[in-house]
Structure 1
């Protein structure tokens, strides 16, 4: 009886060792893969306020309410090739050689919020200074081109220039998440291997 218990204990220990080793291997491989694929992107933002009358006392006058209703249209206007072309022309010669109008459309995003006269502009690239330069150029392009596209658009004001110190960074993929996933896969694989070895040795 004692011999059987000792044998059973050895089997459990051996299986646990296999499982732990596979978990470690899985975590290491997943971590190294994530590290190899990892990249950091930088997002810079600027806001443009659009409206005919921006005073608080007259916030609900007809012009301001009309401007609020127009914000979705202003968002579409900002994405127009005319604005993107103007944005590109405001960039340095070196950056113009790096970004076509189509490429800028994939870098720049425009957002409008309900009941707001603010158009949010963001640019995401692999470089802080490029993101800042592009978003500032886009904000200036909106200010310059909107009156040409719609003479009745009202006043357009840029709410401060984007700066590198306010740029947000995002690193993907997450090494921690991949390590957790690799550990879980290692656990599963370790259980399958240990079960297969035990079955093969004792039941086949």
Structure 2
């Protein structure tokens, strides 16, 4: 085969690979856009501990005890009782949309090891809902914890969640889907080129 013939075949293979990469990338981009959803998140933290005055007036190590109680406080914060109390703090327009059960699904909590901070995190379809639900749950936790867990540390709420701090999240990420599509297209293209080249050598 002449060099000119080899060049034509090489160009053909390159076109095949690039074409399938474009098809794969475009197809996966379309799939990502079809599956894409957008939601908003907001969070509010609180410190749960006994005061320094209480600690110094007692032989008990409240700081250590409060750290050990944090998993319990976390579980309490996710109980439906807190969600029912939180609903009272929602704006009227959101009360119609959010039942206690939905609030409980919208907001979850997390704690860090060796910390007295509990952080509530909300996920909703609008900034206003994300901010309102997490703030309401934090207020409810502050009010209800003493009656649910007598002797619990005092709940000190940190800065409230605001719309400016709420984050917009869109999933799945189209760029990741496109990258997968390009890779799949390239792989299929290389396989086709390999098969065609092997077959032509056997003839």
* Distance in structure 2 (CA, Å) of the matches to 1:146 and 1:74: 8
Describe the SS at the equivalent of 2:114: coil
Partner of 2:146: 147
Partner of 2:112: 113
Partner of 1:15: 13
RMSD: 2.2
Structure 1 unaligned regions, length at least 5? none
* Distance in structure 1 (CA, Å) of the matches to 2:195 and 2:34: 33
CA deviations on 1:157-185 (whole Å, 9 max, x unpaired) are 11121111111222211111111111001
Give the structure-1-normalised TM-score.
0.87
- The answer (yes or no) to whether the contact 1:53–1:64 under 8 Å persists in 2 is no
Shift, 1:54, TM fit:
4.4
* Distance in structure 2 (CA, Å) of the matches to 1:52 and 1:41: 36
CA deviations on 1:117-155 (whole Å, 9 max, x unpaired) are 211111011211110000000000101111111231132
* Distance in structure 2 (CA, Å) of the matches to 1:65 and 1:199: 71
CA deviations on 1:38-72 (whole Å, 9 max, x unpaired) are 222211111111122147x96x9622222121111
**TM-aligned CA distance change 1:188 to 1:53, over 3 Å:** same
Partner of 2:181: 182
Describe the SS at the equivalent of 1:166: coil
Structure 2 unaligned regions, length at least 5? none
Shift, 1:81, TM fit:
1.2
* Distance in structure 1 (CA, Å) of the matches to 2:15 and 2:108: 51
Aligned length: 200
Shift, 1:73, TM fit:
0.7
Partner of 2:160: 161
- Pairing 1:62-81 to 2, within 5 Å after superposition: 62-81=61-80
- Pairing 1:68-107 to 2, within 5 Å after superposition: 68-107=67-106
**TM-aligned CA distance change 1:181 to 1:95, over 3 Å:** same
